[in-house]
Structure 1
């Protein structure tokens, strides 16, 4: 069956399926390197400041209530100072009513107009062979508080402690605060303090006194961060502008920007969030800090888009297609050769193309994706052309293999460079390859000369009897 192209097609198909095994291990190695890279990014980012989520400012006003509280107390003998007991030795109790002042749930008041301007400058930090983008942000906030809305939030017996009102701004990590941090109220400086650690909260606070006597507020913060910068829309009308020198922003969170300008020099984006677009009351007795940070914040991520680990992983997924096309090219080019390629030789070709992905990852970590791809693809194509010429004895037909490999790796590069069109390019290439195979094999004798001869022999060995000729009758036995 060595001359049967049909049998060889089946063998090559089985060998192609076997190539899933090395490609599986290659994909696993790429993923492990990606996880290692991500852990490095998180470690360096956390040391610099980490992901930043700003929620606030919010005005917190304590509330107290004086009530009559009745409780049981032991009766003390004034003469002895001991607890009086009954005949069974149990302490004698009496009911005592006292006026006590209790702290009630405070009032949380969010700003009316909340305008934020954030400007960031990015830089690269290095850990081993990895580059980690980090940023320094200057945040400016202008806001006011509609204190007239508070009146209907308390019961008639509750007392609002206006003089003890405080302002709070939550951030992800106080260690990220750098540079200027200043609060001014009506152009007067107000001292800031860190929020005492409670339930894992981080941020700053200030005792501002009676807010009914206050007008405009302004807060500036300087902080470090990495990977993302987010803010919660705490204002009844929120307007946020982010300007940065980062050329590859990824806008994320509950709201996308109204508009943005992105160039190689950086980006600028603006959000306008009305109060109806957020599920947050203006005045409340509940603390919405966690909900604000987790489900309503929005902003930008500072990440490398479509990094070479993603490209390499996609290359490993597409590798089986390119291995199959290379096997198919060899099979068709060597058609009619006295000594067709051995299955071991096909396996060597498939392993070379599998190792191409590892080469690309290893060199990309050192010299970047484009240079690594050119180096790895050039080495792989050169090796396969050499093997085709001297190992497979293709002779002049090696040029066909070389042209096919150049086209394949050029198409693969385009696929990896554009994630949006990767599926389109891959599917089109697969269909074109199948159509070309069907065209060039349209006149093939899939059984081969050996199979055709065997079929003819079987046909001659059992000739059919025409149904119109009656079978000969057996001679009658002579009478005894």
Structure 2
């Protein structure tokens, strides 16, 4: 019975399938290590964001006009009878958005390190220019009937998501006069994201122009450091932006994509143009300045604010994407691990079948394990070298090992070289799958179909039953009793 199982081709094929399943265990462990390294990279990015600067969202400049609304309310006694009038008041701020805002800037990429991990940063050098329309007091709505509004001196407000990224103080000029920027924005609720920004009261000349209802042009020169992503919020009637950078792998995102962009190996050049007619960013900013929390996040009584609210306005973004993320590439390569091992073992089985050689299950196991180790070697090398170089090194070492091993196992350097050439072709096909992400499914399907077709054509005349049949013993010679 044991000899029958040993000689059975069906049993050998079943054993190879079981071996492929067992080799999925080290593949899964390598994938776990890869995920852990990817998590470590993200933790390194979060640490740099906490200690240096994170992704930046730019909002402003805009004009805040503080005012006091005063009115009279009836004063009643315990029985509800009116016994007089009581003066009431509340302080608010009217928001004036720019008529036009143009952002002209350049992003200079840089790399920062946390351990072995490289995290992309940028320095934005930009000029923000535009103007505020003449102020109309009648545009300010009264919240109480018969109330009077007393306006205070307006101020220019500006904010980015991480003020630590400001490289020096921005140079702000309004109506031709330079203003001095100060920390925090007064008169805003504590739960307003914008309250943590910077502001500047209008100078005497600008204030006089404002009071005479003249338009106020402004210009701000900004130097800002950020991590990976820059987001710009379109708060004006018409917001336009022009950014350029020597980074050749940008990723455009946000609510509004670039209207025009040019990406070359020397960098990118992108233009945006967003109208307030298609954006709700102004309403989102206005709601934040008013400190209004979402009703679903309010406290049970509905009168107490629920604390600081997340501020995620509509924006247009550009990110300095990594051209190759070694951990995502290693993960994608590992997804083909079981298939790759199966194809190599199939090739070894074909050598055994057609060359009438006997390979031990241990030999099959060592071959499969060497392929699994390739993926671990690829991960380790890609942290130190460019991915293509790491892939070439890991694949070259694996091909050389299998060539030398099979030259001895198959008893011929020519056979060993032929087997190594087959494995090299598989590694080349796998790299093609990884390099062509948009066509990975098509190439993978063609690879599997091609290998299956080759197997079927090569074995179309094989008598599988004859391969499993034990050779019959020769009949004994007849002995002459005489």
Secondary structure of the residue aligned to 1:234 is coil
Q: Report 1:8-23 matches (<5 A).
A: 8-23=12-27
Residue from 337, 340, 344 that aligns with 2:358: 340
Report the CA distance between 1:161 and its aligned residue: 4.0
Residues 285 and 9 (structure 1 numbering): CA distance in 2 closer, same or farther, change over 3 Å? closer
Residue from 9, 20, 30 that aligns with 1:26: 30
Q: Is the Cα–Cα contact under 8 Å of residues 48 and 224 in structure 1 kept in the other structure?
A: no
Q: Report 1:48-447 matches (<5 A).
A: 48-70=52-74, 97-148=84-135, 151-155=138-142, 157-195=146-184, 198-199=190-191, 201=194, 202-208=196-202, 209=207, 211=210, 212-280=213-281, 286-287=287-288, 294-336=312-354, 340-391=358-409, 393=411, 396-447=414-465
Residues 162 and 105 (structure 1 numbering): CA distance in 2 closer, same or farther, change over 3 Å? closer
For the residues of structure 2 that align with 1:106 and 1:177, how far apart are their CA atoms?
Answer: 26
Report the CA distance between 1:147 and its aligned residue: 4.1
Secondary structure of the residue aligned to 1:183 is strand
TM-score normalised by the chain length of structure 1: 0.83
Residues 280 and 3 (structure 1 numbering): CA distance in 2 closer, same or farther, change over 3 Å? same
For the residues of structure 1 that align with 2:425 and 2:177, how far apart are their CA atoms?
Answer: 69
| Aligned position for 2:305 | none
Report the CA distance between 1:292 and its aligned residue: 11
Q: Which string of whole-angstrom CA distances, capped at 9 and with x for unpartnered residues, describes residues 28-76 of structure 1? A: 11111111112212322443321000112222222322222456799xx
Report the CA distance between 1:323 and its aligned residue: 0.7
Higher mean C-alpha deviation, range 158-167 or range 102-111: 158-167
Residues 141 and 357 (structure 1 numbering): CA distance in 2 closer, same or farther, change over 3 Å? same
For the residues of structure 2 that align with 1:254 and 1:450, how far apart are their CA atoms?
Answer: 65
For the residues of structure 1 that align with 2:141 and 2:428, how far apart are their CA atoms?
Answer: 71
For the residues of structure 1 that align with 2:128 and 2:106, how far apart are their CA atoms?
Answer: 12
For the residues of structure 2 that align with 1:255 and 1:234, how far apart are their CA atoms?
Answer: 13
TM-score normalised by the chain length of structure 2: 0.82
For the residues of structure 1 that align with 2:228 and 2:215, how far apart are their CA atoms?
Answer: 37
Q: Is the Cα–Cα contact under 8 Å of residues 351 and 357 in structure 2 kept in the other structure?
A: no
Q: Is the Cα–Cα contact under 8 Å of residues 55 and 226 in structure 2 kept in the other structure?
A: yes
Report the CA distance between 1:93 and its aligned residue: 12
Higher relative contact order (CA 8 A, sep 6+): 1
Residues 442 and 282 (structure 1 numbering): CA distance in 2 closer, same or farther, change over 3 Å? closer
For the residues of structure 2 that align with 1:26 and 1:216, how far apart are their CA atoms?
Answer: 60
Report the CA distance between 1:214 and its aligned residue: 4.5
Q: Is the Cα–Cα contact under 8 Å of residues 353 and 380 in structure 1 kept in the other structure?
A: yes
Residues 286 and 147 (structure 1 numbering): CA distance in 2 closer, same or farther, change over 3 Å? farther
Higher mean C-alpha deviation, range 403-412 or range 338-347: 338-347
Residue from 39, 48, 51 that aligns with 1:47: 51
Secondary structure of the residue aligned to 2:235 is coil
Q: Is the Cα–Cα contact under 8 Å of residues 312 and 360 in structure 1 kept in the other structure?
A: yes
Secondary structure of the residue aligned to 1:222 is strand
For the residues of structure 2 that align with 1:229 and 1:293, how far apart are their CA atoms?
Answer: 15
For the residues of structure 1 that align with 2:352 and 2:284, how far apart are their CA atoms?
Answer: 80
Residues 95 and 424 (structure 1 numbering): CA distance in 2 closer, same or farther, change over 3 Å? same
Q: Which string of whole-angstrom CA distances, capped at 9 and with x for unpartnered residues, describes residues 138-158 of structure 1? A: 221112223456624412634
Higher mean C-alpha deviation, range 380-389 or range 445-454: 445-454
Secondary structure of the residue aligned to 1:134 is strand
Aligned length: 437
For the residues of structure 2 that align with 1:289 and 1:351, how far apart are their CA atoms?
Answer: 63
Q: Is the Cα–Cα contact under 8 Å of residues 232 and 292 in structure 1 kept in the other structure?
A: no
Higher mean C-alpha deviation, range 42-51 or range 268-277: 42-51
Report the CA distance between 1:282 and its aligned residue: 7.7
Secondary structure of the residue aligned to 2:60 is strand
Higher mean C-alpha deviation, range 322-331 or range 176-185: 176-185
Residues 421 and 46 (structure 1 numbering): CA distance in 2 closer, same or farther, change over 3 Å? farther
Residues 150 and 275 (structure 1 numbering): CA distance in 2 closer, same or farther, change over 3 Å? farther
| Aligned position for 1:475 | none
For the residues of structure 1 that align with 2:348 and 2:460, how far apart are their CA atoms?
Answer: 17
For structure 2, the residue ranges without an aligned partner over 5 or more in a row are 292-308, 473-482
Q: Is the Cα–Cα contact under 8 Å of residues 168 and 205 in structure 1 kept in the other structure?
A: yes
